[in-house]
Amino acid sequence: MKRVIKAAALAVTGALALTACASADGGSDDAGKTINIVGFAVPEAANKAAAEKFNETDAGKDVTFSGSYGASGDQSRKVVDTKGKDTDYVVFSLEPDMTRLVDAGLVAEDWNQGENKGIVSSSVAVIATEAGNPLGIKDWDDLTRPDVKIVTPDPASSGSAKWNILALYTYAKSTGATEAQADEFLKKVFKNVTTWAASGREATEAFKKGVGNVLLTYENEAILAKQNGEDLDYIVPDHTFKIENPGAVLKDAAPVATDWLDFILSDEGQLAFVSKGFRPVTDVDIAGVEVDGANDPANPFPAVKDLSTAADLGGWSAINKEWFGKDGEKLRFDKLYAEATKQ
């Protein structure tokens, strides 16, 4: 069982949009025309798609973007460590990574008071398999089989890993399992993990290179992989977990960053995210919208029969207190991981 943890090397920096950014006096960057994004790895393609549409609006004309992407927890800590230097807009896998910035005084305390509670994108936890699903995987129970070799991100650095673990746990509870039985189920799954990757994106990349035969991931990540020509299948289990990704503007960001956040939550912005496999977080009409790479492009986001949420577990403060702790604390996950690796 390989547990892969990386830090600064995870961040990938690059231009999201190539629009020229010259000010009236000939300067190359007038500070109000560049949006510096720091975020978790998974929404990079969706941000690029949205940026192209934003550049077509009056607010987004001549705006350029720079992006740094990596594991959610690592990215959040980096913003705090640098005191928000070169950061205007942040997007993370889960709420605690945003709370860290609020506690550091970098993001306003009311960042999540709007209609969408600070959530800019959404997905669900899914199981990806090799093309044709040769193992016949149907549900979370199948992940305990001895022929299954799982790739998943590591909760020490990755937010997406935490969503996966909560999906497994709430599935077990949905079957009537006691807490002890749920723990035993999780340990059986953890025993089959061949690689704990540093981020959701690194888990996908490892799977694409032939590591393991099952990948635990976001629905949108599986769809994007298929859009990029990867030969894989994915299953949306009857019970799974709703993934909600927060985004916010730093307190001292240029006003155009707020325009960008507003655009992401507009119909056009949400449709850009939908095109890359994210489920919309607003009531934008997606009837007739086809999403390449989805199991059914004409019906890309099938209703989940039994969908759990972080709120069902008391919210992220309660979840972290029980499962993951803060920056190095060893709680329920680490206990189960340690026991699984001893078996």
Q: DSSP assignment of 39-102, as one string?
A: EESTTHHHHHHHHHHHTTSTTTTT-EEEEEEE-HHHHHHHHHHTTTTT-SEEE-SSHHHHHHHH
Sign, CA dihedral 119-48-160-134, equals positive
Q: pLDDT band at residue 342, thresholds of 50, 70 and 90?
A: confident
For 3-57, how does the pLDDT look when each residue is reduced to its tens digit (9 = 90+)?
443 433 334 444 444 333 333 333 234 556 999 999 999 999 999 999 999 999 9
Q: How far apart are CA 46 and CA 39, in angstroms?
A: 12
Q: What are phi and psi of 9, to 5 degrees?
A: -65, -15
Q: Take residue 77 and report the two structure tokens written for it.
A: 């800590």
Which pairing describes strands 2-3 and 193-197: parallel, antiparallel, or unpaired?
parallel
Q: How far apart are CA 322 and CA 337, in angstroms?
A: 14
Check residue 329 and give its pLDDT: 62
Check residue 51 and give its pLDDT: 98
CB 154 within 8 A of CB 162: no
Tell me the average pLDDT across 188-192: 98
For 136-156, how does the pLDDT look when each residue is reduced to its tens digit (9 = 90+)?
999 999 999 999 999 999 998
Mean pLDDT of the chain: 90
Tell me the average pLDDT across 311-326: 92
Q: DSSP assignment of 136-166, as one string?
A: ---SGGGGGSTT--EEEE-TTT-HHHHHHHH
Tell me the average pLDDT across 237-266: 97
Q: Take residue 236 and report the two structure tokens written for it.
A: 């949306």
- Name the DSSP class of 282: S
Q: What are phi and psi of 64, to 5 degrees?
A: -110, 165
Q: Take residue 37 and report the two structure tokens written for it.
A: 């994004």
Of 110-119, 162-171, 232-241, 321-330, which range is least confident? Answer: 321-330
Q: Please indicate whether residue 317 or residue 3 has the higher confidence score (pLDDT).
A: 317
Q: How far apart are CA 222 and CA 14, in angstroms?
A: 23
CB 33 within 8 A of CB 23: yes
Check residue 199 and give its pLDDT: 86
Tell me the average pLDDT across 287-316: 97
Check residue 91 and give its pLDDT: 98
Check residue 11 and give its pLDDT: 43
Domains of the chain, start order: 2-121+245-275 (3.40.190.10), 123-242+304-342 (3.40.190.10)
* DSSP β-bridge partners for residue 99: none
Q: How far apart are CA 313 and CA 203, in angstroms?
A: 26
For 254-275, how does the pLDDT look when each residue is reduced to its tens digit (9 = 90+)?
999 999 999 999 999 999 999 9
Check residue 8 and give its pLDDT: 36
Tell me the average pLDDT across 76-95: 97
- Name the DSSP class of 280: P
CB 37 within 8 A of CB 13: no
Of 21-30, 62-71, 104-113, 307-316, which range is least confident? Answer: 21-30
- Name the DSSP class of 191: H
CB 167 within 8 A of CB 176: no
Q: pLDDT band at residue 330, thresholds of 50, 70 and 90?
A: low
**pTM given for the model:** 0.89
Q: Take residue 314 and report the two structure tokens written for it.
A: 């008391």
Q: DSSP assignment of 286-323, as one string?
A: -TT---TTSSSTTS-SPPPSEEE-GGGGT-HHHHIIII
Percentage of residues of the chain with pLDDT beyond 90: 84
